[in-house]
Amino acid sequence: MARLDTERLKQQLLSKQEELVADISRLESEARESRSAEVEDPIDQVTSSEVKAANFHVSTVEARTLKEVRDALRRMDEGVYGTCMDCGRAIEPARLEAVPWTRYCLPDQEKRDRETSFNNESTI
């Protein structure tokens, strides 16, 4: 099994954290600016509302990812980084390379995704 280059992964996580903080700040700034703009006709109002909704969605996803990145950095500090939070086995190095903030090994992530998908379908 390949050894993890945790220092490089930590730098990737810190860089991702910085990127997400900047993106969230920019989206919040754009939202504030769009509120102060005068909207004149119904078409502009619809367009403005759609842009606000899209920005809100992106901001929410980025905030969730930022939390996951910070959690991964905390796990590094605690010495448990790279261990699946469900089964306790080591997370595959290739998975950590692809998604350094992941909490779960691939089988457990797939299981969670199926459960989430099933729960979302049940509420329709």
Considering the entire predicted model, what is its pTM? 0.75
Q: What is the pLDDT of residues 4-16, one digit of tens each?
A: 789 999 999 999 9
Q: What is the pLDDT of residues 31-59, one digit of tens each?
A: 777 655 555 566 666 666 676 777 677 78
Buried b (16+ CB within 10 A) or exposed e, 13-31: beebbeebeebbeebeeee
3-state secondary structure (DSSP) of residue 90: strand
Strand partners for 83: 90
For 6-122, CATH number out of 1.20.120.910, 3.40.50.1100, 3.40.50.720, 3.40.50.800 equals 1.20.120.910
